Chain A
Amino acid sequence: MSKPLKQIHLAAHFPGVNNTTVWSDPKAGSHIEFSSFVHFAQTAERAKFDFLFLAEGLRLREQNGKIYDLDVVGRPDTFTVLAALAAVTEHLGLTGTINSTFNEPYEVARQFASLDHLSGGRSAWNVVTSWDAFTGENFRRGGFLPQEERYSRAKEFLATANELFDSWHGDEILADPATGVFLKDAKAGSFVHSGQHFDIHGQFNVPRSPQGRPVIFQAGDSEEGREFAASSADAIFSRHATLEGGQAFYTDVKNRLAKYGRRHDELLILPAASFILADTDEEAGELAKEVRRQQVSGATALKHLEFVWNRDLSSYDPEGPLPDIDPDVSADHISKGRAQVRMYRDPLATAREWRELAAANNWSIRDLVIETGNRQNFIGSPATVAGTINEYVQADASDGFILVPHITPSGLDDFADKVVPLLQEQGVFRTDYEGPTLRHHLGLALPHSRLRSSGGTPMDDLRGEERVAS
């Protein structure tokens, strides 16, 4: 018997604050005005996507001691935009990236519980950590965390937030005017948490929300990140969108679930993926090249080379050869507020390798940055892109994709209009939403409240619905 076809999960990443987003295109609109978010979210909902995804950054990036001015700069507040989007969408999940370093569990828990109430059960939290004192300068708590404490704080932060979400069981509010009893239990929301990072107690003040807890995303790729995801997350926002890389990651992470007593389908793997669509594969290939050149201007190419060289390279010609001086490997990095620079663990080796590549291919600095940078993941006609996405998902390279368009806010339109119908025809993507909450869309069970109280109530019935989708 052949394996039944997996259903694909699709999500839309609002174009980010980096050079994937092409702001110089005449079609590019505001990334701040609410109308852009409305267009983007309503397009995703029209296409029956699972959710919208917002990234976060808490300090404007700097390079060479100056604010980085070549990419889109600035973004609105994540929670506030998601709450407003709940008013202009009905089904779309609303995923926010929220930092566990520069927040406190009580506050974040009440924001997510509130968002979940205000959206009728559509909230999700991508839990991230920060490491740098640079970002900490914007916060009263300040903030340098040694690498080894980042995940321990994040884990304890999430565990504490879960204790807060679970501190209400869903049956406390009677609001019976006849008897005058509003609350069944005066101790509703009680919690005590005493740990390495947080020592808090009291009563949480937001009653249990429709999903119980927001859907939890994790994005880190390190060993600790993968374990954290396997133990505590509902979904991974991964960076492995190739077939082989995706399969390796998928197998690795799914195999970690058993030791936490979890099933394979209790953690979804959703890589970020960019795409280029055109009428034919050939046209798409040309367009992809053009977009890469838009994404990597000469000025941007020099700045990206500086991530590796860790030196001011502004005197170099981006259309000329690579610098013959070596990278500066001193501790302090000229680029601040950017995770990307830490990918180059051995800058001297990278520089050597890049010089060789450039020499062999006769590449300029800009050519090199374009060629070694990320290509778009899916390039082709709608049929090609739909086919490839389906192939990857059926081959367990992922459970779906978080699509990252390069144009704000219209970058999703063609995908919604041309690719989604093909996936629907193939029977691998929903033609309509089947339930009200994000957990329904993702096929995730509602979490039990650990401290669940007795007594049948409507909320208990809802929670009892174990597997809410196929």
Chain B
Amino acid sequence: MSSTPAFPLHLAVALEGTGWHPASWREPVARPRELFTAGYWADLVAEAERGLLDFVTFEDGLGLQSSHYGELDGRTDQVRGRLDAVLTASRVAPLTRHIGLVPTVIATHTEPFHISKAIATLDYVSTGRAGLRVQISARPHEADHFGRRTFPPINLDELRTPAGQERLTDLFDEAADYVEVVRRLWDSWEDDAEIRDVATGRFVDRDKLHYIDFEGRFFSVKGPSITPRPPQGQPLVTALAHQTIPYRLVARQADVGYVTPHDAEQARAIVAEIRAEQVTAGRTGELPHVFGDLVVFLDDDQAAAEDRRARLDALAGEPYTSDARIFTGTPAQLADVLQELAAAGLSGFRLRPAVAGHDLPAITRGLVPELQRRGAFRTAYEADTLRGLLGLPRPANRYAAAAIA
């Protein structure tokens, strides 16, 4: 028996193509020709659910994948092309029962009204297991797909300059407004708005339908939604954040923030910064989860994991790098790392399998039993909704509350 104090951890897996390593598609387990079929995604999510994971995220983007941030790379040796993440999640929903489904949505070029009802509907089809991961796009070539805005050229270094930071601030402010609209629309129907009162002939009580009247710098939206309040009330809102500007979005709007500390000290500092931003935003009552993102190469012994990583790097022609910490080793070693980071204030992890067909089963069949032995992970699903799995209450409706007050 381990004497480590048991922090019950939350575990999510980030699904991206055949895995996060760019050569992952060349592995015998990868099934790259099935990437554009429902069966491929259904199998991955079924595997994640077998491991009792809290949720899976689905990556997305409004352009082809690229190894460069700001432009297409013209490469033909990596996976290119993808399916819409919301629709993929919805396609999988009826085939699963417990696991949360969190597709990526891009706030920069899409309509918050459409996304709000799409995620509400995902919540209906999954009976309370929906969320979203909000992302921005500063990429000029993606703006060109819409033709409504022109973005100047950008690369990651330029994003770190003051001018780049200003652009990022605008895009994240827009994303915060976007999430605000999405959330208000979810609340724009009170739970008991549908009355079906045969005596008066009224289907809804229109006093329980609310205009959201959002007016911001970037857009205005009237409401109410066309879709009634979803089962969870507020589906899960999540965001990946690497620095202060996105930390602010997490602090203002998210239920779960994904962060990328490389050690416990960084984890502690990031959590403190997010908590401070929360205080600034006046959101002290709630405690959003802060999850650590890690790329994982998992094998039964460390040498095998290292060999596999080296072999994939050789195929790719360059060592794999990531914004997130890259873990290479055994499930027990990973469990040690996760528990150390959890002690520094992270409440869960979003693991990015280097090779989906290999590292996802290694998580569900290796890491999960290891954490269960340590008393640090569930042994059965304990709730019916994604919020429930994460220990988040079903929130009161902001408009119903206002009506009472």
Which residue on B lies nearest to A138, using beta carbons? B113
Inter-chain contact B91/A83, CB cutoff 8 Å: yes
Query: Which residues of B265-286 are within 8 A (CB) of A?
Result: none
Are A207 and B86 interface neighbours, CB within 8 A?
A: no
- The reply to whether A80 and B63 contact each other, CB–CB distance below 8 Å, is no
Q: Given that A117-B37, A203-B64 are contacting pairs, would A183 and B76 also be in contact in the complex, using a CB cutoff of 8 Å?
A: yes
Closest to A21 in B: B203
Most buried by A among B87, B194, B206, B228: B87
Residues of A within 8 A of B74 (CB): 186
**Stretch among B115-123, B241-249, B342-350 lining the A interface:** B115-123
Query: A87's contact among B81, B92, B111, B204, by CB below 8 Å, is which?
Result: B92
Chain A 101-119 near chain B by CB (<8 Å), digits 1 or 0: 0111011001100110111
A106 contacts which of B114, B145, B206, B315 (Cβ < 8 Å)? B145
Q: Per-position contact with A for B23-57: 1 when CB-CB < 8 Å, else 0?
A: 10111101011011110001000000000000000
Digit string of B200-215 for contact with A (CB within 8 Å is 1, else 0)?
1111111001000000
Query: What separation, in Å, do the CA atoms of A202 and B61 have in the docked complex?
Result: 14
Q: What residues of chain B lie closer than 8 Å to A69, measured between beta carbons?
A: 202-206
Q: Report how many A-B pairs have Cβ atoms within 8 Å.
A: 230
Cβ of A7: which chain B residues have Cβ within 8 Å of it? none
A87 near B224: Cβ-Cβ < 8 Å: no
Given contacts A32-B124, A76-B117, contact A117 B144 (CB under 8 A): no
Contact A24 B196 (CB under 8 A): yes
With A84-B94, A117-B37, A138-B222: A77-B203 Cβ-Cβ less than 8 Å: no
Structural contact, A118 and B38, CB atoms closer than 8 A: yes
Instruction: List chain B residues, Cβ under 8 A from A76.
Output: 117, 120-121, 124-125, 227
CB within 8 Å for A79 and B26 given contacts A87-B93, A138-B221, A202-B145: no
Whether the Cβ atoms of B206 and A137 lie closer than 8 Å is no
Tell me the bound Cα distance from A115 to B90 in angstroms: 10
8 Å CB contacts to A: which residues of B64-114? Answer: 64-65, 72, 74-84, 86-88, 90-95, 109-114
Residues of B within 8 A of A140 (CB): 111-112, 218-221
Shortest distance from the beta carbon of A30 to any chain B beta carbon, whole Å: 9
A456 CB within 8 Å of chain B: no
List chain A residues, Cβ under 8 A from B221.
137-140
Q: Which residue of A lies closest to B202 (CB)?
A: A69
Residues of A within 8 A of B147 (CB): 198-200
* One of A58-66, A259-267, A411-419 at the interface: A58-66
Measured in the bound complex, the distance between the Cα atoms of B150 and A199 in whole Å is: 11
Does B127 sit within 8 A of A, measured CB to CB?
A: yes
The answer to whether the Cβ of B388 comes within 8 Å of any Cβ in the partner chain is no
Choose one: A73, A117, A180, A297; the contact of B26 (CB below 8 Å).
A180
Q: Which of A23, A66, A70, A114 has the most C-beta atoms of chain B within 10 angstroms of its own C-beta?
A: A114
| B223 proximal to A (CB < 8 A) | yes
Decide: B226 and A34 in contact? CB cutoff 8 A. Answer: no
Residues of B contacting A188 in the complex (Cβ-Cβ under 8 angstroms): 80-81
Question: Which of chain A's residues have a CB closer than 8 A to the CB of B76?
Answer: 181-186
Judged by a CB distance under 8 angstroms, whether B378 is at the interface is no
Q: Would you call B218 and A58 a contact (CB within 8 A)?
A: no
Query: How far does the alpha carbon of A209 sit from the alpha carbon of B84 in the complex, in Å?
Result: 13
Q: Is the CB of A74 within 8 A of B227?
A: yes
Cβ of A177 within 8 Å of any chain B Cβ, yes or no, is yes
Asked if B146 lies at the interface with its beta carbon under 8 angstroms from chain A, I say yes
Question: Which residues of chain A from 291 to 348 have any CB-CB distance to chain B below 8 Å in the complex?
Answer: 297-300
Give Cα A106–Cα B143 distance, bound, in whole angstroms.
11
Q: How many residues of A contact B (CB 8 A)?
A: 74
B141 within 8 A of A: yes
Q: Are A203 and B113 in contact (CB under 8 A)?
A: no
The chain A residue sitting closest to B81, CB to CB, is A207
Known contacts being A87-B95, A203-B72, is A70 close to B226, with CB within 8 Å?
no
Q: Is the CB of B32 within 8 A of A80?
A: no
Task: Give A38's nearest chain B residue, CB to CB.
Answer: B94
Q: How far is the CB of B301 from chain A (nearest CB, A)?
A: 25
Does B198 sit within 8 A of A, measured CB to CB? yes
Residues on B with beta carbons closer than 8 Å to the beta carbon of A199? 147
Q: How far is the CA of A394 from the CA of B380 in the complex (A)?
A: 59
Asked if B172 is at the interface of the complex by the 8 Å CB criterion, the answer is no
Whether the Cβ atoms of A77 and B91 lie closer than 8 Å is no
| Residues of chain A within 8 A of B294, CB atoms compared | none
Residues A33-70 near B (CB distance < 8 A) = 33-34, 38, 57-60, 66-67, 69-70
1/0 per residue, CB under 8 A from A, across B141-166: the answer is 11011111000000000000000000
Given contacts A77-B121, A137-B222, A205-B64, contact A173 B146 (CB under 8 A): no
> B201–A297 contact, CB under 8 A?
yes
Partner of A80 from B23, B90, B194 at Cβ < 8 Å: B90
The answer on a CB contact under 8 Å between B90 and A83 is yes
On whether the beta carbons of B87 and A300 are closer than 8 Å, the reply is no
Assess whether A248 is interfacial by the CB under 8 Å rule: no
Contact string against B for A residues 393-428, beta-carbon threshold 8 Å, 1 for contact and 0 otherwise: 000000000000000000000000000000000000
Do residues B87 and A115 form an inter-chain contact, with CB atoms below 8 A? yes
Any A CB within 8 A of the CB of B62: yes
- Rounded to whole angstroms, the CA-CA distance of A205 and B226 in the bound complex is 29
> Is A469 part of the contact surface with B, judged by Cβ < 8 Å?
no
CA distance A60 to B112 in the complex (A): 16
Which chain A residue lies CB-closest to B41? A118
B-chain residues with CB within 8 Å of residue A60 when the two chains form the complex? 209, 224, 226
Whether the Cβ atoms of B62 and A86 lie closer than 8 Å is no
Report the Cα distance A182→B147, complex, angstroms.
29
Most buried by A among B27, B63, B120, B147: B147
Can you list 15 pairs linking A and B with CB atoms under 8 Å apart? A23-B203, A34-B125, A58-B226, A60-B209, A75-B226, A102-B114, A119-B38, A120-B37, A139-B221, A175-B25, A177-B26, A177-B28, A182-B25, A203-B64, A205-B65
Closest 8 CB pairs of A and B: A140-B219, A137-B222, A114-B84, A80-B121, A84-B125, A175-B32, A83-B90, A77-B121
Chain A: residues with CB nearer than 8 A to chain B? 23-24, 32-34, 38, 57-60, 66-67, 69-77, 79-81, 83-84, 86-88, 102-104, 106-107, 110-111, 114-115, 117-120, 137-141, 168, 173, 175, 177, 180-186, 188-189, 198-203, 205-207, 209, 297-300
Please name 6 further chain A to chain B contacts, defined as beta carbons within 8 Å, in addition to the given A107-B62, A110-B62, A205-B65, sorted by A numbering: A66-B206, A87-B93, A106-B145, A181-B76, A182-B79, A207-B36
